[in-house]
Amino acid sequence: MKDQFRVGIGYDIHRLIEGRRLVLGGVEVKHEKGLVGHSDADVVLHAVTDALLGAAGLPDIGDLFPDDDPAYEGIDSRKLLQDAVKRVRECGFEICNVDAIVHAEAPKLTPHKKRIAESVALLLGLGSGAVSVKAKTNEGMGVLGQTDAIACTATASLFRSG
Ligand code: MG
């Protein structure tokens, strides 16, 4: 019984620089800066991927998709998430829900968070009510508050399907 329901947590942060696209949860958000990383640096999908992998007791995103492996250079993070979801399902789990907080001073994400949640839900094969995305500023403090980075914290819950 205690193994029927599982919870995982994921966190990620990437630097914001000029000349990059800003992609959050698979959605392109218009902004003068974008996130930099080995992949497309989609901080939301990376946090969600780690939450799902953690809930299933699988290795983390850095173990499965190393950022020094040329195979993942510039990769669309939707592919990493979908690979992780396949692994989670192969362990006999179905996804119950995902909840995420995007920590961003700029751009303001309130107008985009519903679209981001819907994109993540679609990628996970869930109804839109099963994915929640919240946007928080960092009250001007630190690298997040100085708009030098965007971070995401996510949780995921799973239930054993078989
Ligand atoms: Mg990352």
- Return the bridge partners of 45, or none: none
Q: What separation in Å is there between the alpha carbon of 14 and the centre of ligand 1?
A: 6
Take residue 90 and report the two structure tokens written for it. Answer: 């192969």
Q: What separation in Å is there between the alpha carbon of 2 and the centre of ligand 1?
A: 31
Percentage, residues of the chain above pLDDT 90: 88
Query: Mean pLDDT, the chain, as a whole number?
Result: 95
Q: What separation in Å is there between the alpha carbon of 46 and the centre of ligand 1?
A: 5
What distance, in Å, lies between the first and last C-alpha atoms of the chain? 12
Q: What separation in Å is there between the alpha carbon of 97 and the centre of ligand 1?
A: 21
Model confidence pLDDT, tens digit, residues 27-69: 999 999 999 998 899 999 999 999 999 999 999 999 999 888 8
Q: Which residues surround ligand 1, an ion (CB under 5 A)?
A: 12, 46
Q: What separation in Å is there between the alpha carbon of 96 and the centre of ligand 1?
A: 23
CATH superfamily of 5-160: 2-C-methyl-D-erythritol 2,4-cyclodiphosphate synthase (3.30.1330.50)
Whether the Cβ atoms of residue 154 and residue 47 lie closer than 8 Å to each other: yes
Query: pLDDT band at 73, cuts 50/70/90?
Result: confident
Report CA-CA distances (Å) from 54 to 108, 115, 157.
Answer: 29, 25, 10
Tell me, yes or no, if the pTM score tops 0.85: yes
Model confidence pLDDT, tens digit, residues 112-133: 999 999 999 999 999 989 999 9
Per-residue confidence (pLDDT) for residue 72, from 0 to 100: 85
